[in-house]
Amino acid sequence: MMSLLMALIKKEILALLRDVHGLAALLLMPVLFIVIMSLALKDVYNPPSQVLSYAVDSKDAGTLAPSLLEHWAVDHGAAKALPADWNQALLSGELKYVIVLDAGTSDRLMPALSADISETRAPPIHLVVEPTMDKALLSSLQAQMTGLVSAVQLRTLGVVVKAMSGGGTPSSAALTAEERGPWTPLVEVKRTGSLQIKPTSVQQNVPAWLVFGMFFVMSAVSGLWLVERDNGVMARLRSFGVPDHAILLSKILPYLGVNALQAALMLAVGVWLMPLLGADALQLGGIHWPALLLVLASISAAAVGLAILVACLVRTQAQAGAVVPIVNVLMAAIGGIMVPKFVMPSFMQQLAELSPMNWGLEGLLTVLLRDGDASAVLPYASRLLWFAGLTFVFALMLLRSSRLKNA
């Protein structure tokens, strides 16, 4: 039995190697998706406000306002030179926004221990933005500037209290460089887990399109299956008494190897190629490798099992050409491959959990971002393995049913 199975596997491998274009598509198609989608979605994970071009129109002569602008530049980059007609630069899109500081802004930023709450004054800082700026992005800029102003005031409050307790009242110009900053952040943000890996488009898209690429073997398996059936290869194998389960196993094992090659190639692209293209690198340092291998093996088993089932269901090349892309695209669209799950509405997030691609993606993200070990990914791996087992059983039932019909 073992020698028979090895002979069948050799036949499958030879058939794969003869179809160079099909094998190249299996390996390179997911790589192209990773490159394109990682670069296209880069700003989804890196706030776009950090890369907007801006300029500063300052009429202030104090020192607090320049200090505020210095801290703003740390997160938003250096300001562009202010054009003579900066309103026109905003209209043309050359600048995205201009920070306008009125005269006396530094003195207005000085926190006062007592104030007339009935006094209303125009704000000393203005954000003038280009006409098409998204409302959410505008609100983000306003919130960031407001938070920065609060941090400046809190930093200088101690100086004000100290000066007033000594009988003096400091002005913004009297503050030393040490008193103006830097300061300790008001809120510390820390990710849970030991990896402390920042989510990026690469961290999302490499596992996402890796899963999609593995399930894409449906196209190759169903195509080769139909060719062998139409050429009489399947009938000859049955006439020689080859068991149905041996026929299925001979199809499954080579494509598990193809999926392993896909996984290795796409991880390598994330680690080494994407940084060369200007994107972030896939971070694999410190991850739990046995958990990663468990998830990859489970995804591969589910993908090949579904491929065998679809191959047993379709009857013509036209059916395969229609069914396989539809099944792949629907599972990818629902499962968070094409659109990240976290940006979906709640009902779509619940629907995503029905897709085997989502199980694989969540398992990979658990390892790559959530510091997950084998026990953490076991729920996803078990679902995928159950799915693989069911698809294999159904495929075997269909194969035996067709044998009986042809008997």
Condensed to tens digits (0 to 9), the pLDDT of residues 338-372 reads 877 777 888 888 888 889 999 999 999 889 888 88
Whether 175 and 159 have beta carbons less than 8 Å apart is answered as yes
Return d(Cα 119, Cα 149) in angstroms, integer.
19
Looking at residue 109, its pLDDT comes to 72
List the structure tokens of 393. 């059983």
Measured distance CA(138)–CA(10) in Å, rounded: 61
CB of 373 closer than 8 Å to CB of 398:
no
CA distance 151 to 146: 9
How far CA 324 is from CA of 7, 211, 216, in Å, comes to: 28, 15, 8
> Distance of alpha carbon 224 from its chain centroid, rounded?
33
Task: Specify the residue for token string 């999609």.
Answer: 212
| pTM, entire model | 0.69
pLDDT (0 to 100) of residue 118 = 45
Neighbour-count burial for 392-404, b at 16+ CB within 10 Å, e otherwise: bebbbebbeeeee
- Map out the domains of the chain as residue ranges: 2-44+200-406, 47-180
* pLDDT over threshold 70, residue 28: yes
The pairing of beta strand 54-58 with beta strand 97-101: parallel
153-210 tens-digit pLDDT: 776 665 555 555 555 555 544 454 444 444 455 555 555 555 556 667 788 788 888 9
Helix (H) or strand (E) holding 394: helix 374-406
129 closest CA partner among 94, 73, 90: 90
Q: Per mean pLDDT, which of 6-15, 34-43, 170-179, 253-262 is the most reliable?
A: 253-262
CA distance 202 to 375: 25
Contact 237, 325 (CB under 8 A): no
